[in-house]
Structure 1
Amino acid sequence: MKQTLKFGRIAGIPVGVHWSALVIMVLLAQSLVVGVLPASVPDLPWTVAWLLGVGGAALFLLSLFAHEAAHALVARGFGIRVERLTLWLLGGVAEFRDEPPSARADFLVAIAGPLTSFAAGVGFGTVALLVSGLDGPPAVVATAGWLAMINLVVAVFNLLPGAPLDGGRVLRAALWWWRGDRTRAALTATRTGRWLGIALLFAGLAELLVFGALSGIWLGLLGWFVLAAAIAEGVTARTRAILDDTPVRAVMRTGAVCGEPGQSVESFVPVAAGSRQRWFPLCDDAGHPTGMVGLTALVDVPATARAATTLQQVAGPATRVDAGQAVATVVLPGPTRSAVVVDDGRLVGVLSSDDIARAVEVARLHAPAGDRAR
């Protein structure tokens, strides 16, 4: 997931937020100010209420960061490479480049997040009890109690047994350990996740339509996310089973037409028109990719401005993948559905969704009949 705002790094892992995280922060702060705090302290000044609301929402987002950081740090301990940690509308995401090497690693990486949320819930609950025991401000007690409750809810919800939730990872690890087959375990967890997503989606719709509760919208969104992510993980699991550990270099296309960042659009148009590509990587003199430009971007440049416009000015960012990376772990986001393949930082090829689809079909073509059916 693309990070709108980057905060830096934790143990070398890029940390940031997607713009949608601001929406959930505002809604959480409003929930505290409008619902939780007035119920505990009816005469609380609105300035104090909003300070506590914003502070409580920020502390909750930090606890979500801690949840995802726990996944990432445990994963790093098993040699799993972590791309980034990102907060967004429906929580946090820790993106990994590698699969867990064993069922034990899979279980420990998965359980680290819920345990961290549970610990945060217990910690905030302890603060609430201590402040209350010392006759501290009731508003602080209410805020700490709310933080305890919502962290415990996050811990319990994430332990539901369906991918992509942490409970789905725990289920996958258990089945992997029991059966000794990671692919079957992953497919079972994704099937459970699909049913869980459908159940949450219908529960949210029922809550909204039957009871008129707006909270049903959030439950429905969670169900949609779980369902979509479970379907995507199922596709990835099947692709991994078919391609095994096939590296990107075995699937990528070499000899792609490239442009130079400082080259004018006018001089590149004949080159692009004579190629069958729709997207063209840009490389500097050292062979390092600097972006990707599409035919549509070239068309949008007026003919009178093409001589004075460089390719870099109309190019977009390029997704990079390593030549030695397993094809099944590659994600090709955005409209290009393609990536530049690098080896030691230098461009060696281009990978598209069509290349991956073809590799899957060729692998199935050469597989025994029984394997093709599975």
Structure 2
Amino acid sequence: MKSSVRMGRVLGVSLRIHWTVPLLVMLFGYSLGSQTLPARIPDQPGATYTVAGLAGALLLLVSLLAHEAAHAVTARRKGIQVQSITLWALGGMTQMGKPRTAGAAFLIAVSGPFTSLVVGAVALAAGIGLDTLSGWSVPAAVLLWLGWVNLVLAVFNLLPAAPLDGGRVVQALTWWRTGDQDRAERAAARGGQVLGVLLIGVGWIAVLRGALSGLWLAVIGFFVMVVASAEHRSARLAPALRGLRAADAMSSPVETCQDWLTVRRCVDDVAVRTRHSTLALIDFEGRPSGLLHLPHLARVPAPQRETLRVRDVATPWTRCTTCAPDDLLAEVLEKLSPGRGLPILVTDGQHLAGIITAHDISRIVQRHTLRGTEGP
């Protein structure tokens, strides 16, 4: 996910925090400290409510991390590579490869809600016990709130629509029943699109009736609809890519530019003559060194164009997406990480063999559709 910052590793998996996470902590901390706790336990000092609200919000963040970590751990036990866990305002996302069997997909899907159910049950039991045995009413109330939130989170995530875990469960069961993974993915994604529209509608109806909390529901619905639509497109794309290698999709030869040229010289000698919006950069020894997006040149101020080198405004090689000609195209696209998308540079050792752009992928899909081999 874009606009997220890497914060270290959890259980060997890269952990990223989206900029909206502080908003999540403040929102739930404020709601818990200013409304929920005062209503349940009145006549406490304001500082007590503030600290308890912040503690509850942080505990909720930890429980969200536990939910996503369960997905990651289960996936790795099934031999699936996990790229990262990202926490953000609407929960969390675990980026991983595709399960190879319906059974693995099912176990990965249910592991998150099961963890939330366990966390919720433990928090509720701890809250009840703490209140009964010690009389610590404020900490007990925070634990009870945390327990109920996790139970609601588990139930909501089990709704039968992608990208929610319930959608993954439906996808796994459909895959197991029909043997068609692509069909199962499309069905789950369509369910997500329908659910997203329903959540948006219910949210706005709630807002029109004076319940501002409906905005949150509408935002969740919008997110579900957008992600489900993307997954539906991906599911339609999968049959077209199956069995293809990177060499089958790449455009070759690649138009290049020397990375030591000034911006002015690149514009005059290369950019105005090319039909492409992206150029591969090469160094003095002819090795690829980066990727130059021509729109970036237009943003360079005129006084700097005489001295600034194109490598200074290009994407460096270390941040480019690369693959080998024999790599499976579907696996290459599946491993695209935040900040590293298309185009993809195809390299054979230190030799630049070709480039894969969005246009190349679109052309493959069009050819596949013309053959009439895509399912419903």
TM-score (norm 2): 0.89
Retained in 1: the 8 A contact 2:323–2:344?
A: no
Retained in 2: the 8 A contact 1:131–1:137?
A: yes
Q: Hey, what does 1:10 align to over in structure 2?
A: 10
Does 2:324 match 1:326?
A: no
Over 3 Å counting, the alpha-carbon distance change for 1:356 and 1:58 in structure 2 is: same
Superposed CA offset, 1:116-137 (max 9, x none): 1111111211221221122242
Q: Give the unaligned 5+ runs of structure 1.
A: none
Greater alpha carbon shift after TM alignment, 255-264 vs 338-347: 338-347
Retained in 2: the 8 A contact 1:193–1:227?
A: yes
Residue 178 of structure 1 and its aligned partner are, at CA, apart by: 1.0
Q: Hey, what does 1:246 align to over in structure 2?
A: 244
Does 2:361 match 1:361?
A: no
Retained in 2: the 8 A contact 1:40–1:139?
A: no
Q: Hey, what does 2:344 align to over in structure 1?
A: 339
Over 3 Å counting, the alpha-carbon distance change for 1:156 and 1:79 in structure 2 is: same
Greater alpha carbon shift after TM alignment, 307-316 vs 334-343: 334-343
Equivalence map 1:167-186=2 (5 Å): 167-186=166-185
Greater alpha carbon shift after TM alignment, 224-233 vs 333-342: 333-342
Letter of the 1:352 counterpart: T
Equivalence map 1:208-357=2 (5 Å): 208-210=207-209, 212-259=210-257, 263-269=261-267, 270-282=269-281, 291-316=290-315, 318-323=319-324, 324-327=327-330, 329=334, 337-341=342-346, 348-357=353-362
CA distance in structure 2 between the partners assigned to 1:15 and 1:49 by the alignment: 30
Retained in 2: the 8 A contact 1:3–1:16?
A: no
Equivalence map 1:109-120=2 (5 Å): 109-120=108-119
Superposed CA offset, 1:60-101 (max 9, x none): 1111111111111211122222221111121101112x2110
Q: Hey, what does 1:200 align to over in structure 2?
A: 199
Over 3 Å counting, the alpha-carbon distance change for 1:167 and 1:275 in structure 2 is: same
Retained in 1: the 8 A contact 2:280–2:288?
A: yes
Over 3 Å counting, the alpha-carbon distance change for 1:252 and 1:15 in structure 2 is: same
CA distance in structure 1 between the partners assigned to 2:359 and 2:66 by the alignment: 38
CA distance in structure 2 between the partners assigned to 1:170 and 1:148 by the alignment: 24
Superposed CA offset, 1:1-40 (max 9, x none): 1253211122432111110122112111111111111112
CA distance in structure 2 between the partners assigned to 1:278 and 1:335 by the alignment: 17
Give the match's secondary structure for 2:207.
helix
Give the match's secondary structure for 1:276.
coil
Letter of the 2:312 counterpart: Q
Letter of the 1:265 counterpart: V
Retained in 2: the 8 A contact 1:201–1:220?
A: yes
Over 3 Å counting, the alpha-carbon distance change for 1:185 and 1:335 in structure 2 is: closer
CA distance in structure 1 between the partners assigned to 2:15 and 2:350 by the alignment: 22
Q: Hey, what does 2:146 align to over in structure 1?
A: 147
Superposed CA offset, 1:36-57 (max 9, x none): 1111222222222222211211
Equivalence map 1:100-111=2 (5 Å): 100-111=99-110
CA distance in structure 2 between the partners assigned to 1:142 and 1:344 by the alignment: 61
CA distance in structure 2 between the partners assigned to 1:293 and 1:197 by the alignment: 38
Q: Hey, what does 2:132 align to over in structure 1?
A: 133
Residue 316 of structure 1 and its aligned partner are, at CA, apart by: 4.4
Letter of the 2:321 counterpart: R
Over 3 Å counting, the alpha-carbon distance change for 1:144 and 1:168 in structure 2 is: same
Give the match's secondary structure for 2:87.
strand
Residue 314 of structure 1 and its aligned partner are, at CA, apart by: 2.1
Retained in 2: the 8 A contact 1:287–1:347?
A: no
Give the match's secondary structure for 2:270.
helix
Residue 161 of structure 1 and its aligned partner are, at CA, apart by: 0.4
Retained in 2: the 8 A contact 1:286–1:346?
A: no
Give the match's secondary structure for 1:15.
strand
CA distance in structure 2 between the partners assigned to 1:287 and 1:230 by the alignment: 43
Over 3 Å counting, the alpha-carbon distance change for 1:249 and 1:46 in structure 2 is: farther
Give the match's secondary structure for 1:213.
coil
**How many residues get paired?**
369
Over 3 Å counting, the alpha-carbon distance change for 1:44 and 1:326 in structure 2 is: farther
RMSD: 2.6
Equivalence map 1:154-173=2 (5 Å): 154-173=153-172
CA distance in structure 2 between the partners assigned to 1:191 and 1:292 by the alignment: 36
Give the match's secondary structure for 1:163.
coil
Give the match's secondary structure for 2:251.
coil
Over 3 Å counting, the alpha-carbon distance change for 1:29 and 1:290 in structure 2 is: farther
Over 3 Å counting, the alpha-carbon distance change for 1:264 and 1:48 in structure 2 is: farther
Retained in 2: the 8 A contact 1:289–1:340?
A: no
Greater alpha carbon shift after TM alignment, 3-12 vs 142-151: 3-12
Over 3 Å counting, the alpha-carbon distance change for 1:291 and 1:55 in structure 2 is: farther
Retained in 2: the 8 A contact 1:321–1:330?
A: no
Retained in 1: the 8 A contact 2:321–2:343?
A: no
TM-score (norm 1): 0.90
Retained in 2: the 8 A contact 1:279–1:336?
A: no
CA distance in structure 1 between the partners assigned to 2:161 and 2:55 by the alignment: 32
Greater alpha carbon shift after TM alignment, 299-308 vs 49-58: 299-308
Letter of the 1:195 counterpart: V
Q: Hey, what does 1:24 align to over in structure 2?
A: 24
